[in-house]
Structure 1
């Protein structure tokens, strides 16, 4: 591991200033992703700016009935918070599905959203990877890719984003607030992640040196009956091979509103807009749910060894929506 300097940020402005003063600096939250990447040689920062003492560790209700979640809130505190469990249960379920208890106690909200892919080629510095070394190639296309993307990928990169939390936040129209030397900014979470295209090394739309300060969830009464379902290769702690965050508002047997996001299928949490369009206004029955899944997955472009994800995701979407519909009918 490369030697590095370590500084504790005195406040948000000071944190941003410390990073601006050192081009090879990185913000340090819980370190559950960054430190691993430092050990493998993927990340080689000259300075770590520790954020854990900043006043960004609170979850507060907003005036419109939503939630404001600080960037240094731990995953454990987020999952256990009574307002999260009551108003956005899928978010709590996603966080609890996302890691071991030890990791949840350390990992932070901001760090979770910015964590990098777990693709084995990305973490192996002895070989090529367009995300790590632009222009070097993507060996996963012709190599090991059984858990890689089926939506929104390109020939330059087929890795998936590993966040469970991000999938639920995407379904609920979360917004990301950040601070820069020029002042604060905000964007929808769906705009945070850049398309893979020809530049997979450019992962987010955050301005250079920006610090995420909090995530806002707007009020969404429909989210109170939401679900998160994750499929993984073993029952213990593991990354998803497919996941769904969803909620339905049903009246008179028809879907009045639908929210749906998918995980482990793309380079970012995937908002299922095509499926939502099919669901809205349609009868809340199995045939509608299957048609919605098919509409979303029509854009899937699987590789030879991950084509199983298409029927897996179809079945998962239908199962979760059916469960929600049956719950809403009671």
Structure 2
């Protein structure tokens, strides 16, 4: 990524390396705040545009470039979140956060594909797994911003208050409310190691491929929920399907209806997942939440606008 200092300079900003070095952190922050990689990329771009729109004198007066960029990016995200809530009320069907591929899966892992810039990747840790991202969607914009800044990125409440323009006491209250939402949505349980989750997803894949309803029911939690996001572009579930047997039968019916398809194991938001391909094109990305040896949630994203990072 090359960002010129300004048209009148004709020279690269001496602090360019430091500025560009902030890009990945800003992208990580914006994705967690918005749940959309494309919107996060737009926010980061707009943040840099605002930096370079300032005069050299104003730039030199900034004590912490990283702090300035974080503040601007966060405030843009707050504005986006406000309008996004209204847009999502008009969204066709269920809205699921945009699924993130692992580095090896970006652009479908196509042979000869150019490796993406590490600065353009989101760090895949537990704060981006699909279950956690879905919980973030239940928060108000202010709760989400304060919670992510303090609990995920470890900013002190005094810093968070300065960024969002609220008092430290108000930020503490917002963070407490956000944590309560997390506890209510995700009761305390022992985390499932990635290897164990991968085994469960692999067995699920085999059972689905062979249309083995009994095996599927055995791998699904009795209260499992599956949700699909087509965004009005492709057919998807209008409402969640709940219950082990109902979900198993739905999956087998889907397998029969879709016809020729290929299921591939992939990393989705840092956790074991699957992609469904037809004629080599990724049509659906599946993310899973696993508790013990059973699947508790399945999210299927088929909205093509959200599958851009998965296709060449």
Please give the TM-score of this superposition, normalised by the length of structure 2: 0.26
Q: Which has the higher strand share?
A: 1
Q: Which has the higher helix share?
A: 2
Which has the bigger relative contact order, CA under 8 A and spacing at least 6? 2
Higher-Rg member (1/2): 2
